[in-house]
Amino acid sequence: MNKKDILEVRKQLSKENCAITRICGCYVTHEKEKKLEFTKAFLSLGEEEIFKYLDILKKTMSGTLGKNLMVMDFSLEAEADGTPHHLLRELRKSKLQDDQLLSEFYDNIIASYEYPENYYIVLVHSNYDVPGKSSDGMEMFDASDEVYEHLIVAICPVNLSKAGLSYNALTNDIEERVRDWIVEAPMHGFVFPAFTDRSSDLHSTLYYSKKPDELNPDFIEGVLGATLPLTAKDQKNAFDALISDTLEDECDFDTVKTLHENIIQLVEEAKENPDPVVLSKPEIKNLLAKSGADSEKLETFDNEFTDIVGEQERLMANNLTSTRSFEVKTPDVVVKVNPKRTDLVRTEEIDGRKCLVIEITDNLYVNGIDVNK
Protein backbone atom coordinates (compact mmCIF):
# COMPACT_ATOMS: atom_id res chain seq x y z
CA MET A 1 0.00 0.00 0.00
CA ASN A 2 1.67 3.21 -1.13
CA LYS A 3 0.82 6.92 -0.84
CA LYS A 4 -1.37 6.84 -3.94
CA ASP A 5 -3.39 3.85 -2.64
CA ILE A 6 -3.87 5.52 0.74
CA LEU A 7 -5.02 8.79 -0.81
CA GLU A 8 -7.50 6.97 -3.05
CA VAL A 9 -9.20 5.26 -0.10
CA ARG A 10 -9.00 8.37 2.09
CA LYS A 11 -10.72 10.35 -0.65
CA GLN A 12 -13.83 8.21 -0.09
CA LEU A 13 -14.12 9.54 3.47
CA SER A 14 -16.23 12.50 2.45
CA LYS A 15 -19.98 13.10 2.39
CA GLU A 16 -19.95 13.22 -1.43
CA ASN A 17 -18.02 9.96 -1.96
CA CYS A 18 -19.04 8.13 1.21
CA ALA A 19 -19.12 4.35 0.76
CA ILE A 20 -19.55 3.52 4.47
CA THR A 21 -22.49 1.19 5.05
CA ARG A 22 -22.43 0.68 8.80
CA ILE A 23 -20.88 2.14 11.94
CA CYS A 24 -20.40 0.49 15.33
CA GLY A 25 -19.04 1.91 18.54
CA CYS A 26 -18.01 0.83 22.02
CA TYR A 27 -17.24 3.20 24.90
CA VAL A 28 -14.75 1.66 27.38
CA THR A 29 -14.01 3.04 30.84
CA HIS A 30 -10.59 3.15 32.49
CA GLU A 31 -11.67 0.05 34.43
CA LYS A 32 -12.03 -1.85 31.10
CA GLU A 33 -15.83 -1.86 31.37
CA LYS A 34 -17.97 -1.65 28.23
CA LYS A 35 -20.24 1.28 29.06
CA LEU A 36 -21.93 1.67 25.68
CA GLU A 37 -22.27 -0.36 22.49
CA PHE A 38 -24.19 0.57 19.36
CA THR A 39 -24.52 -0.29 15.68
CA LYS A 40 -26.24 1.91 13.06
CA ALA A 41 -26.51 2.51 9.34
CA PHE A 42 -23.93 5.23 8.78
CA LEU A 43 -26.09 7.51 6.67
CA SER A 44 -28.85 7.41 9.31
CA LEU A 45 -26.69 9.63 11.52
CA GLY A 46 -27.22 13.36 11.66
CA GLU A 47 -25.17 15.45 9.24
CA GLU A 48 -22.92 16.93 11.93
CA GLU A 49 -22.26 13.47 13.39
CA ILE A 50 -21.33 12.15 9.94
CA PHE A 51 -18.79 14.93 9.43
CA LYS A 52 -17.26 14.36 12.90
CA TYR A 53 -16.91 10.62 12.30
CA LEU A 54 -15.42 11.17 8.85
CA ASP A 55 -12.80 13.45 10.42
CA ILE A 56 -11.91 10.74 12.94
CA LEU A 57 -11.60 8.08 10.23
CA LYS A 58 -9.46 10.34 8.03
CA LYS A 59 -7.00 10.68 10.89
CA THR A 60 -6.37 6.92 10.82
CA MET A 61 -5.09 7.34 7.25
CA SER A 62 -3.04 10.50 7.82
CA GLY A 63 0.66 11.00 8.35
CA THR A 64 3.91 9.74 6.91
CA LEU A 65 4.16 6.25 5.48
CA GLY A 66 6.84 4.38 7.42
CA LYS A 67 6.52 6.57 10.50
CA ASN A 68 2.99 6.78 11.94
CA LEU A 69 1.44 4.89 9.01
CA MET A 70 2.77 1.36 8.64
CA VAL A 71 1.87 -1.45 6.27
CA MET A 72 1.97 -4.69 8.27
CA ASP A 73 1.97 -8.15 6.75
CA PHE A 74 0.41 -11.37 8.02
CA SER A 75 2.24 -14.67 8.07
CA LEU A 76 0.51 -17.86 6.87
CA GLU A 77 0.17 -18.99 10.49
CA ALA A 78 -1.44 -15.67 11.44
CA GLU A 79 -4.17 -16.20 8.83
CA ALA A 80 -5.31 -19.59 10.19
CA ASP A 81 -8.79 -20.16 11.62
CA GLY A 82 -9.22 -18.98 15.20
CA THR A 83 -6.69 -16.15 14.85
CA PRO A 84 -7.33 -12.38 15.10
CA HIS A 85 -7.01 -12.29 11.30
CA HIS A 86 -9.82 -14.85 11.01
CA LEU A 87 -12.04 -12.71 13.27
CA LEU A 88 -11.38 -9.66 11.09
CA ARG A 89 -12.29 -11.63 7.98
CA GLU A 90 -15.55 -12.77 9.60
CA LEU A 91 -16.39 -9.24 10.74
CA ARG A 92 -15.85 -7.98 7.21
CA LYS A 93 -17.95 -10.79 5.78
CA SER A 94 -20.78 -10.06 8.27
CA LYS A 95 -20.79 -6.37 7.28
CA LEU A 96 -20.81 -5.65 11.05
CA GLN A 97 -24.27 -7.14 11.51
CA ASP A 98 -23.26 -9.99 13.84
CA ASP A 99 -23.44 -8.85 17.48
CA GLN A 100 -21.50 -11.86 18.77
CA LEU A 101 -18.56 -11.16 16.45
CA LEU A 102 -18.60 -7.49 17.44
CA SER A 103 -18.58 -8.35 21.14
CA GLU A 104 -15.64 -10.73 20.61
CA PHE A 105 -13.77 -8.03 18.70
CA TYR A 106 -14.31 -5.45 21.45
CA ASP A 107 -13.18 -7.99 24.06
CA ASN A 108 -9.97 -8.56 22.08
CA ILE A 109 -9.23 -4.84 22.10
CA ILE A 110 -10.04 -4.39 25.79
CA ALA A 111 -7.81 -7.35 26.73
CA SER A 112 -4.78 -6.12 24.79
CA TYR A 113 -5.07 -2.33 24.65
CA GLU A 114 -3.34 -0.69 27.58
CA TYR A 115 -4.66 2.80 28.25
CA PRO A 116 -5.21 4.28 31.72
CA GLU A 117 -8.22 6.45 30.81
CA ASN A 118 -11.55 6.08 28.99
CA TYR A 119 -11.57 5.45 25.24
CA TYR A 120 -13.99 4.99 22.38
CA ILE A 121 -13.73 2.28 19.70
CA VAL A 122 -15.11 3.29 16.31
CA LEU A 123 -15.56 0.58 13.68
CA VAL A 124 -17.01 1.04 10.19
CA HIS A 125 -17.67 -1.18 7.19
CA SER A 126 -17.23 0.31 3.72
CA ASN A 127 -17.72 -0.79 0.11
CA TYR A 128 -15.63 1.18 -2.35
CA ASP A 129 -16.58 0.49 -5.96
CA VAL A 130 -13.10 0.81 -7.48
CA PRO A 131 -13.33 2.54 -10.87
CA GLY A 132 -11.37 1.04 -13.74
CA LYS A 133 -8.62 3.00 -15.44
CA SER A 134 -7.99 3.52 -19.12
CA SER A 135 -4.57 3.11 -20.70
CA ASP A 136 -3.86 6.83 -20.16
CA GLY A 137 -4.63 6.55 -16.44
CA MET A 138 -8.07 8.22 -16.54
CA GLU A 139 -10.70 6.77 -14.19
CA MET A 140 -13.69 5.08 -15.82
CA PHE A 141 -16.48 5.12 -13.24
CA ASP A 142 -18.75 2.97 -15.38
CA ALA A 143 -16.13 0.21 -15.61
CA SER A 144 -15.55 -0.97 -12.06
CA ASP A 145 -12.78 -3.53 -11.57
CA GLU A 146 -13.89 -4.72 -8.13
CA VAL A 147 -15.51 -3.67 -4.86
CA TYR A 148 -12.97 -3.01 -2.12
CA GLU A 149 -14.81 -4.17 1.00
CA HIS A 150 -12.97 -3.08 4.13
CA LEU A 151 -13.09 -2.16 7.81
CA ILE A 152 -11.68 0.98 9.39
CA VAL A 153 -11.05 1.02 13.13
CA ALA A 154 -10.16 4.04 15.28
CA ILE A 155 -9.44 4.12 19.01
CA CYS A 156 -10.03 7.56 20.46
CA PRO A 157 -9.30 8.85 23.98
CA VAL A 158 -12.31 10.28 25.82
CA ASN A 159 -11.33 13.05 28.22
CA LEU A 160 -13.21 15.46 30.45
CA SER A 161 -13.16 19.00 29.04
CA LYS A 162 -11.20 21.56 31.03
CA ALA A 163 -12.82 23.48 33.86
CA GLY A 164 -13.44 27.15 33.14
CA LEU A 165 -15.91 29.97 32.75
CA SER A 166 -18.26 30.52 29.83
CA TYR A 167 -21.02 32.88 28.74
CA ASN A 168 -24.56 31.60 29.25
CA ALA A 169 -26.85 33.29 26.70
CA LEU A 170 -30.01 32.18 28.56
CA THR A 171 -29.04 33.92 31.81
CA ASN A 172 -26.87 36.58 30.18
CA ASP A 173 -24.14 35.81 32.66
CA ILE A 174 -20.63 34.38 32.96
CA GLU A 175 -20.89 31.03 34.70
CA GLU A 176 -18.92 27.90 35.42
CA ARG A 177 -18.70 25.88 32.21
CA VAL A 178 -20.39 22.48 32.16
CA ARG A 179 -17.65 19.86 31.72
CA ASP A 180 -18.31 17.22 29.05
CA TRP A 181 -16.64 13.97 28.07
CA ILE A 182 -15.00 14.76 24.73
CA VAL A 183 -14.07 12.19 22.07
CA GLU A 184 -10.65 13.24 20.78
CA ALA A 185 -8.60 12.37 17.69
CA PRO A 186 -7.60 8.69 17.48
CA MET A 187 -4.42 7.37 19.06
CA HIS A 188 -4.36 4.15 17.05
CA GLY A 189 -6.32 2.57 14.25
CA PHE A 190 -6.11 0.39 11.16
CA VAL A 191 -7.64 -0.40 7.79
CA PHE A 192 -8.30 -4.06 6.97
CA PRO A 193 -7.59 -5.41 4.48
CA ALA A 194 -4.98 -3.20 2.85
CA PHE A 195 -5.62 -1.63 -0.55
CA THR A 196 -2.61 -2.60 -2.67
CA ASP A 197 -2.29 -1.80 -6.37
CA ARG A 198 -5.94 -0.67 -6.25
CA SER A 199 -7.13 -4.05 -5.02
CA SER A 200 -7.99 -5.82 -1.74
CA ASP A 201 -4.95 -7.34 -0.04
CA LEU A 202 -5.99 -9.72 2.74
CA HIS A 203 -2.35 -10.46 3.54
CA SER A 204 -1.63 -7.01 4.95
CA THR A 205 -3.17 -4.12 6.85
CA LEU A 206 -2.53 -0.39 7.17
CA TYR A 207 -1.82 0.56 10.79
CA TYR A 208 -1.94 4.06 12.30
CA SER A 209 -0.25 5.35 15.44
CA LYS A 210 -0.50 8.99 16.44
CA LYS A 211 2.97 8.73 17.99
CA PRO A 212 5.34 6.84 15.64
CA ASP A 213 7.37 5.39 18.52
CA GLU A 214 4.36 4.09 20.44
CA LEU A 215 2.96 1.38 18.18
CA ASN A 216 1.35 -0.57 21.06
CA PRO A 217 2.72 -4.06 20.26
CA ASP A 218 0.27 -5.88 22.58
CA PHE A 219 -2.63 -4.40 20.64
CA ILE A 220 -1.04 -5.35 17.29
CA GLU A 221 -0.53 -8.92 18.47
CA GLY A 222 -3.91 -9.35 20.16
CA VAL A 223 -6.19 -7.59 17.66
CA LEU A 224 -4.33 -7.93 14.37
CA GLY A 225 -1.83 -10.76 14.79
CA ALA A 226 0.34 -9.00 12.20
CA THR A 227 4.12 -8.93 12.02
CA LEU A 228 5.38 -6.00 14.10
CA PRO A 229 7.84 -3.86 12.12
CA LEU A 230 10.62 -1.73 13.51
CA THR A 231 9.45 1.75 14.47
CA ALA A 232 11.00 4.76 12.72
CA LYS A 233 13.14 5.38 15.83
CA ASP A 234 14.20 1.72 16.03
CA GLN A 235 15.19 1.78 12.35
CA LYS A 236 17.33 4.89 12.91
CA ASN A 237 18.96 3.42 16.02
CA ALA A 238 19.65 0.11 14.25
CA PHE A 239 21.12 1.91 11.23
CA ASP A 240 23.37 4.09 13.41
CA ALA A 241 24.63 1.05 15.31
CA LEU A 242 25.16 -0.85 12.04
CA ILE A 243 27.31 1.94 10.57
CA SER A 244 29.33 2.41 13.77
CA ASP A 245 29.98 -1.32 14.27
CA THR A 246 30.84 -1.93 10.62
CA LEU A 247 33.19 1.01 10.09
CA GLU A 248 34.64 1.11 13.64
CA ASP A 249 37.68 3.44 13.64
CA GLU A 250 36.99 4.46 10.03
CA CYS A 251 33.60 5.92 10.91
CA ASP A 252 34.76 9.47 10.19
CA PHE A 253 33.05 12.76 9.40
CA ASP A 254 33.54 12.62 5.62
CA THR A 255 32.17 9.07 5.26
CA VAL A 256 29.07 9.77 7.33
CA LYS A 257 28.48 13.10 5.54
CA THR A 258 28.74 11.41 2.14
CA LEU A 259 26.42 8.63 3.32
CA HIS A 260 23.88 11.26 4.37
CA GLU A 261 24.17 13.00 0.98
CA ASN A 262 23.66 9.73 -0.89
CA ILE A 263 20.54 8.84 1.13
CA ILE A 264 19.11 12.34 0.59
CA GLN A 265 19.75 11.94 -3.15
CA LEU A 266 17.82 8.63 -3.19
CA VAL A 267 14.86 10.25 -1.42
CA GLU A 268 14.91 13.27 -3.75
CA GLU A 269 15.04 11.11 -6.88
CA ALA A 270 11.99 9.15 -5.70
CA LYS A 271 9.98 12.20 -4.62
CA GLU A 272 7.35 11.69 -7.33
CA ASN A 273 7.14 7.95 -6.74
CA PRO A 274 4.21 6.96 -4.45
CA ASP A 275 6.26 4.06 -3.05
CA PRO A 276 8.68 4.95 -0.24
CA VAL A 277 12.39 4.23 -0.73
CA VAL A 278 13.05 0.94 1.07
CA LEU A 279 16.60 -0.35 1.44
CA SER A 280 17.55 -4.01 1.75
CA LYS A 281 20.81 -5.40 3.10
CA PRO A 282 22.64 -5.39 -0.29
CA GLU A 283 21.43 -1.86 -1.07
CA ILE A 284 22.71 -0.46 2.23
CA LYS A 285 26.02 -2.24 1.72
CA ASN A 286 26.33 -0.66 -1.74
CA LEU A 287 25.52 2.74 -0.24
CA LEU A 288 28.34 2.34 2.25
CA ALA A 289 30.77 1.36 -0.48
CA LYS A 290 29.67 4.34 -2.57
CA SER A 291 30.18 6.60 0.45
CA GLY A 292 33.84 5.63 0.81
CA ALA A 293 33.75 2.70 3.23
CA ASP A 294 36.84 0.46 3.01
CA SER A 295 36.22 -2.93 1.38
CA GLU A 296 37.88 -4.72 4.32
CA LYS A 297 35.44 -3.14 6.74
CA LEU A 298 32.53 -4.22 4.57
CA GLU A 299 33.54 -7.87 4.95
CA THR A 300 31.79 -7.92 8.34
CA PHE A 301 28.74 -6.01 7.12
CA ASP A 302 26.48 -9.02 6.39
CA ASN A 303 26.94 -10.46 9.87
CA GLU A 304 26.52 -7.06 11.52
CA PHE A 305 23.29 -6.46 9.57
CA THR A 306 21.84 -9.83 10.59
CA ASP A 307 22.76 -9.30 14.27
CA ILE A 308 21.60 -5.70 14.57
CA VAL A 309 18.77 -5.29 12.05
CA GLY A 310 17.61 -8.79 11.15
CA GLU A 311 18.25 -10.90 8.06
CA GLN A 312 15.01 -10.06 6.23
CA GLU A 313 14.42 -6.56 7.56
CA ARG A 314 14.41 -3.60 5.22
CA LEU A 315 14.85 0.01 6.28
CA MET A 316 13.05 3.06 4.95
CA ALA A 317 15.41 5.75 3.67
CA ASN A 318 13.47 8.65 5.16
CA ASN A 319 13.88 7.07 8.62
CA LEU A 320 17.67 6.84 8.36
CA THR A 321 18.58 10.49 8.09
CA SER A 322 16.81 13.81 8.38
CA THR A 323 15.73 15.41 5.13
CA ARG A 324 15.35 18.73 6.97
CA SER A 325 18.79 19.21 8.46
CA PHE A 326 22.29 17.77 8.74
CA GLU A 327 23.28 17.79 12.40
CA VAL A 328 26.78 17.89 13.86
CA LYS A 329 26.87 17.57 17.63
CA THR A 330 29.40 17.66 20.46
CA PRO A 331 28.63 17.66 24.20
CA ASP A 332 28.60 21.47 24.16
CA VAL A 333 27.74 22.51 20.59
CA VAL A 334 24.99 21.60 18.11
CA VAL A 335 25.24 22.75 14.47
CA LYS A 336 22.34 22.22 12.04
CA VAL A 337 22.95 22.62 8.32
CA ASN A 338 20.67 22.67 5.29
CA PRO A 339 20.89 19.02 4.11
CA LYS A 340 21.56 20.24 0.57
CA ARG A 341 24.51 22.40 1.68
CA THR A 342 26.69 19.94 3.58
CA ASP A 343 29.52 21.15 1.31
CA LEU A 344 29.77 24.17 3.64
CA VAL A 345 30.91 22.02 6.55
CA ARG A 346 34.18 20.12 6.93
CA THR A 347 36.66 19.04 9.56
CA GLU A 348 40.14 20.46 9.64
CA GLU A 349 43.17 20.29 11.91
CA ILE A 350 44.11 23.75 13.21
CA ASP A 351 47.06 24.27 15.57
CA GLY A 352 47.12 20.54 16.26
CA ARG A 353 43.43 20.37 17.17
CA LYS A 354 40.59 18.82 15.19
CA CYS A 355 38.06 21.55 14.35
CA LEU A 356 34.73 21.84 12.62
CA VAL A 357 34.95 24.49 9.93
CA ILE A 358 31.82 26.20 8.54
CA GLU A 359 32.16 28.30 5.42
CA ILE A 360 30.24 31.59 5.62
CA THR A 361 28.93 32.60 2.20
CA ASP A 362 26.19 35.05 3.20
CA ASN A 363 24.95 37.00 6.20
CA LEU A 364 25.92 35.77 9.67
CA TYR A 365 23.40 36.02 12.50
CA VAL A 366 24.19 35.65 16.20
CA ASN A 367 21.14 35.37 18.44
CA GLY A 368 19.12 36.87 15.58
CA ILE A 369 21.46 39.86 15.14
CA ASP A 370 23.11 40.46 11.76
CA VAL A 371 26.83 40.76 12.50
CA ASN A 372 29.87 41.63 10.44
CA LYS A 373 31.60 38.61 8.93
The pLDDT tens digits for 295-337 are 888 988 989 999 998 877 889 998 998 888 888 988 899 999 9
Q: What percent of the chain has pLDDT over 70?
A: 97
Note the pLDDT of residue 273.
86
Is the distance from CB of 222 to CB of 27 less than 8 angstroms?
A: no
The dihedral sign for the CA sequence 190, 33, 101, 87? positive
Using only the alpha carbons of the chain, give its radius of gyration. Answer: 26
The pLDDT tens digits for 13-31 are 998 999 999 999 999 999 9
Note the pLDDT of residue 272.
85
Q: What is the pTM of this model?
A: 0.85
Average pLDDT in the 65-83 region? 93
Distance in angstroms (rounded) separating the CA atoms of residues 5 and 65 = 11
Task: Determine the angle formed by the axes of helices 281-290 and 232-247, rounding to 10 degrees.
Answer: 50
CA distances from 208 to 50, 85, 233, 274 (A): 21, 17, 16, 18
